[in-house]
Amino acid sequence: MIYIKELKSGLPIFKALSSDIRIQIIELLATHDSLNLNDIAGKLSLTNGAVTMHIKKLEESGLIKINTAVGKHGIQKICYLNEDKLMVDLRNKENKNLYEVEIKLGHYSAYEAHPTCGLATKDRIIGEFDDPRYFADPEHINAEIIWLTEGYFEYRIPNYLKPNQQFEELQFIMELGSEAPGYCNNWPSDIYFHLNDIELGFWTSPGDFGGEKGTFNPDWWLPNLNQYGVLKMIRINKDGSFIDGQKISETTLASIGLDYKSDIKLRFSVPSKAKNLHGLTIYGSKFGNYNQDILARVLYK
């Protein structure tokens, strides 16, 4: 998912989408997964030169990516969608009734981990693969990627509200995936979310993605390991709990009972009850495809 936090930062994408032809190209790639320039030109009844100009604008905006491949007629440019979803945050970040913080992955306050599992900083693996003892290593606070097959990670979110203020909505944005030995793009896993020990619902991660280097992965990270996840957004408000706009439960802020004195504990888990028990990986700013850690946003009135 491409996430646009501020409208100005999304201008290249908005300009790229201002053309009917470029929207048709996006629709073709969404249907066919990948096409070369000749295919696109033929389907749209355009010259290769005209298509090349539109493809360049889409690539510069980040909406599509292009790989080269050797075919029967020489080197071909193969076009793919960069992401399946586009999310635009229209809320003004300067709103006085809002604050946000980024929580480093290694700053978990509680955990339970069962192999396969592990964690790494931007420079090295902490300890050894599949040994849960290393989640207590003091260097865990520097972790930029963490993973487990079964268990949980829990984080404390700062509560800065004053006595005369009330919670209106909580939002959490993070890059998640499943956990397979090495990687497996088809590896569904039910990842559950809890707030203050109250279940919000779950999302089924499609896989533990690899085969293509994550944008921010360090050079030493081996290509046979997982590379990136999917950016997800959880929202909890008066209407229920949502992930990427789809309701996952009727759990509301009122049912959690938060006030200005409350602890805020966010938990990601793959419990033994999960139908698809294929693990959890969380990506920080130095791994995966998104330059961020766990973003927590608090809206209040």
Cα dihedral 26/184/67/38 (nearest 10) = -50
Q: Are residues 169 and 38 in the same domain?
A: no
Distance CA 111, CA 266 (A): 12
Prior bond of 116 cis (ω within 30°): yes
User: How do strand 198-205 and strand 74-81 relate by DSSP bridges?
Assistant: unpaired
Q: Are residues 10 and 131 in the same domain?
A: no
Q: Check: CB of residue 290 under 8 Å from CB of residue 283.
A: yes
pTM for this model (two decimals): 0.74
Query: What CATH number corresponds to the domain at position 46?
Result: 1.10.10.10
**Per-residue pLDDT tens listing for the chain (301 residues):** 677 767 777 888 898 899 999 999 999 998 888 899 989 999 999 998 899 999 999 998 889 988 887 766 678 889 988 877 787 877 555 557 999 999 999 999 999 999 999 999 999 999 999 999 999 999 999 999 999 999 999 999 999 999 999 999 999 999 999 999 999 999 999 999 999 999 999 999 999 999 999 999 999 999 999 999 999 999 999 999 999 999 999 999 999 999 999 999 999 999 999 999 999 999 999 999 998 999 999 999 9
Q: Which two tokens stand for residue 209?
A: 């993605």
**Boundary of a domain, candidates 24, 55, 86:** 86
Q: Are residues 213 and 291 in the same domain?
A: yes
Q: Are residues 61 and 116 in the same domain?
A: no
Number of domains in the chain: 2
User: How do strand 118-120 and strand 246-249 relate by DSSP bridges?
Assistant: unpaired
Query: What CATH number corresponds to the domain at position 239?
Result: 2.60.120.260
Question: By residue range, what is the domain housing residue 276?
Answer: 91-300
Q: With the C-alpha atoms ordered 28, 58, 86, 121, is the resulting torsion angle positive or negative? A: positive
